A and B are shown apart, each in its own frame.
Chain A
Amino acid sequence: MMRTDWRDHDWQLIHTVPQSPTLHMALDDVLTHEVGTGRRTPTLRIWEWAAPAVVIGRFQSLRNEVDAAAAQRHGIEVVRRVSGGGAMFIEPGNTITYSIYAPLSLIKGLSFQESYAFMDAWVIEALGELGIKAWYQPLNDITSAGGKIAGAAQAHRGGAVLHHVTMAYDIDAAKMLEVLRIGREKLSDKGTTSAAKRVDPLRSQTGLPREAVIARMIATFRRLHGLSDDSLRANELADAEALAQSKFASAAWLADVP
């Protein structure tokens, strides 16, 4: 397998109507597979959320990470994604989430650490154009002088890499801390005991509407790598809807790491 560059690929953009948390999990699974088999060319997908959610990492303990009673009280759905990494607290309009589906050739020969920074270099540039000096904080964070902006996660499977990122646009830190259990050990090397202080969202840093930040990101990706407007195919959506029900909405998957 030869190393490929961004411009060797015919990048497609999917940015569609708000979708449920379980459907988002399933779309990542299906679209990674479609790019791995070559049925779909490499794709950038911008997520829109239809409902609040806590998204836990593939290897996180459900009961250690989430206060189930608090989540239920606030009407927050808890889902498990296919990639590792940490829990994310999502409210529609408060985050900017995207996925990149690419052949593994794009990151061939890179270390894990290098591949995370490589996949998000366009975002660092877009943030710079918005006046935010941001950088990659290994292993998997995008940060600025004000604090953490985003967390990334990858999964490699079937010849493809899934690289997805959630950026904080705005945040209800009090609600987040009610729902997520953030342990002392986790914060031991962060220099603060306040999880809320660790995140500095894009809204306060840019003063721009969320849609304007997304438009800037898309424009930067298009300029650097090329990008055509695309949509989900009927079979992709049907596969994802079936998988959302059979797998991602199931108690067995959610509690796979109890």
Chain B
Amino acid sequence: MHGEYKMPGGKLVVIDLDLHDDRLANVQLSGDFFLEPDSALHTINAALTGQPADADEAMLTTAVQTAISSEVMMYGVSPEAIAVAVRRALHQGPDA
């Protein structure tokens, strides 16, 4: 499943994921944004993996926020934008 969100004033935020037993699996965040350090990408993927398929944007935002340390710098991407891209992937399904 694939979802894209162009963050207003930011960059393109893309999520690819599968669903296993109504939970997010194989979550892959990507896009043309900036993240420091780059290891934060894997931290965010791991934080989203296992979230329930019916998690709303607020829950997904919180999951990302709590997983990343205060040292992580985001430019052109945000926990909220990632949550929107996840919801779009879940809504649009495999053919989107």
Contacts and interface: CB of A to CB of B under 8 A. Distances in A.
Interface of A: 57-61, 64, 82-87, 112, 138-140, 153-157, 183, 185-186, 188-189, 257-258
**Residue among A86, A112, A138, A257 with the most chain B CB within 10 A?**
A257
B30 A61 contact: yes
Given A59-B31, A64-B30, A257 B36 contact: no
A186 B30 contact: no
A102 B33 CA distance: 22
A85 B41 CA distance: 14
B10 A257 contact: no
Given A84-B35, A112-B75, A257 B4 contact: no
B67 interface: no
Interface of B: 4-6, 8-12, 14, 16, 28-38, 41, 73, 75-76
Contacts of B6: 185-186, 188-189
Given A59-B30, A59-B33, A139-B75, A64 B14 contact: yes
Of A61, A84, A156, A185, most buried by chain B (CB within 10 Å of CB) is A84
B12 A186 contact: yes
Given A139-B75, A139-B76, A183-B4, A59 B12 contact: no
A39 to B, nearest CB: 22
Contacts of A139: 9-11, 75-76
A112 B74 CA distance: 9
Contacts of B35: 58-59, 84
A59 B75 contact: no
A60 B8 CA distance: 19
A61 B28 contact: yes
24 contacts: A58-B35, A59-B29, A59-B30, A59-B41, A61-B28, A61-B30, A82-B38, A84-B33, A86-B12, A87-B32, A112-B34, A112-B73, A112-B75, A139-B76, A140-B34, A140-B76, A153-B34, A154-B34, A155-B38, A156-B36, A183-B4, A189-B6, A257-B28, A257-B30
Contacts of B30: 59-61, 64, 257
Given A185-B5, A186-B12, A189-B8, A60 B31 contact: yes
Contacts of A64: 14, 16, 30
Contact of B32 (A57, A82, A156): A57
A155 B64 CA distance: 22
Contacts of A186: 4, 6, 12, 32
Nearest to B11: A139
